[in-house]
Amino acid sequence: MSDASDDIPALLNGSMGQTIPVLAHMGLEVIEAAPGRAAARVPMDGNGNHVGTMYAGVLFSVAEMLGGALSLATFDPARFYPIVKDLRIDFRRPAASAITARTSLDRAEIDRVLADAERDGKGQFTLASELTDEDGTVVATTEGTYQIRPH
């Protein structure tokens, strides 16, 4: 049997066509969403560009959406919703296979963000992510600023 947090990726994947249809169309799959951790994967098929590598906007998306997945699994969604403020992506190598993006937020940061959100009405944090291809090569990295805000 799985506990509730094991089901978050399944819940996110099952509702993607309704919540963010563009991500569903990309074939994006959330593979991990747990307190302080998130990962997602996109296939190469359908996501290429005119030179046969993965389109930049797909790489951006698989990394950017981790902020939402991590927030949902880390901060009570009945109390807080996440927003993205900015994101920078650095393209390091051509991406020519399925790509997995991963990010994490440590316990001290989670506590700080929660305290800020409760005190100030918003808790801001930075997520760094790494995007790797099927060979484990880092094809891109991102750094994004997110906030959680009370409903």
* Interacting residues with its own copies (CB under 8 A): 18-23, 25-26, 46-51, 55-58, 60-61, 64-65, 81, 83-91
Shortest distance (Å) from residue 40 CB to its own copies: 12
- The dihedral region occupied by 140, where left means phi > 0, alpha psi between -120 and 50, and beta the remainder, is beta
Nearer to its own copies, 85 or 134 (CB): 85
Report in angstroms how near the CB of residue 105 gets to its own copies at its nearest.
Answer: 19
Q: What is the CA radius of gyration of the chain?
A: 15
Cβ closest to its own copies, residue 64 vs residue 133: 64
Smallest separation (angstroms) from its own copies to the CB of 56: 5
Q: Are strands 123-132 and 99-104 parallel, antiparallel or unpaired?
A: antiparallel
- Closer to its own copies by CB, 55 or 137: give it: 55
CB of 46 to its own copies, least distance (A): 6
Helix segments in 26-149, DSSP class H: 56-64, 66-74, 107-120
CB 2 within 8 Å of CB 33: no
